[in-house]
Amino acid sequence: MRIGVTGASGFVGGAVCRAAVARDWQVYGFGRRPAVGPARLGGAPYLPWDLTLGPPPPVELDALIHCAGSVTDWGPPQEIWRANLTGTRNALAAFPLARFVHVSTASVYDPYTPTVMAAEHEAPVRRYANAYGASKAAAEHAVHGRAVILRPHAVYGPGDTTLLPRLLRSVRGRALLAVGDGGQQISLTSVDNLVQACLLAVEAPTGVYNVTDREPVVLDDALRSVLRERRIDAVPRYLPYRLAHRIAAVAETVASVTGRPPRLTRYAVGHLAVERTLDISAALDRLGYDPAPTSFEGAASW
């Protein structure tokens, strides 16, 4: 099996490369960085490729797992659209005969209402809170019918450069500032579970699949577990939704002037203040997906 992985220099792409190499597949890692240490890709060759600009490296593939893209909820919209939509179109066009596995996001569901055990047909929607959700929905539309589309939510694990660092930046003294009341259910996706889904998708039927940990967790339980594992002497403290939304609006205004990313965005408030859970029945039935439960064991070393 000859597979390529875009975004191989990143958190998810690197993990996919290492797992595919462990299966004795012939793996090529693609990324924008000029070079990446071989250990990050499990020894697979790394080929620089900016999906938004140049043509692909001259290799033949049986499948391409597309992990590249922007994961930020704040930044110049044109850059986010270029990374997520233009990059996806170019990746699909580069290897027209290869099976295409597209790593999307649960942010394609309606950001303005709770996501309660959402099934795949409930997205995309017509309204989004920012360029990230809108561009990922457009990317799904671009590959629909020609790809296996995976929708993880809040990916975490060793090497995480987004979710855990953002959470830790919210610690103020002995309080971890959060939104809502802490009782909301949330589906999380460990990087190991997402990698499993990516490899299964290489030989799976074309379609859309939610991929999360085995069952949703209560947000307060998850936050306290992370704090324990990181040995941080703090407890979650919750801001009411409307107050947090106003604070985020002010933070965004300041960020637009200073050019520094805001610590809190309205997208993040809306995403975390209410239930965000996904139905993974399709992945269980059609992918053969067998996810592990949510666990932050070992988070002290991530």
Question: pLDDT digits over 245-261, tens only?
Answer: 999 999 999 999 998 88
Q: What is the pLDDT of residue 173?
A: 92
Q: How confident is residue 118, by pLDDT bands cut at 50, 70 and 90?
A: very high
211-220: average pLDDT: 98
Per-residue pLDDT at 60 exceeds 80:
yes
| Residue count (the chain) | 302
190 has which bridge partners?
156
Q: pLDDT per residue over 257-282, tens digit each?
A: 998 889 889 999 988 899 999 999 99
- Indicate the burial class of 37 (C-beta count within 10 angstroms; 0-12, 13-18, 19 or more): exposed
Per-residue pLDDT at 54 exceeds 80:
no
Give the residue extent of every domain in the chain. 2-160+186-213+276-301
Average pLDDT score, the chain? 95
- Pick from 100, 146, 99, 149: nearest CA to 124: 149
Per-residue pLDDT at 181 exceeds 80:
yes
To the question of domain 2-160+186-213+276-301 being in CATH 3.40.350.10, the answer is no
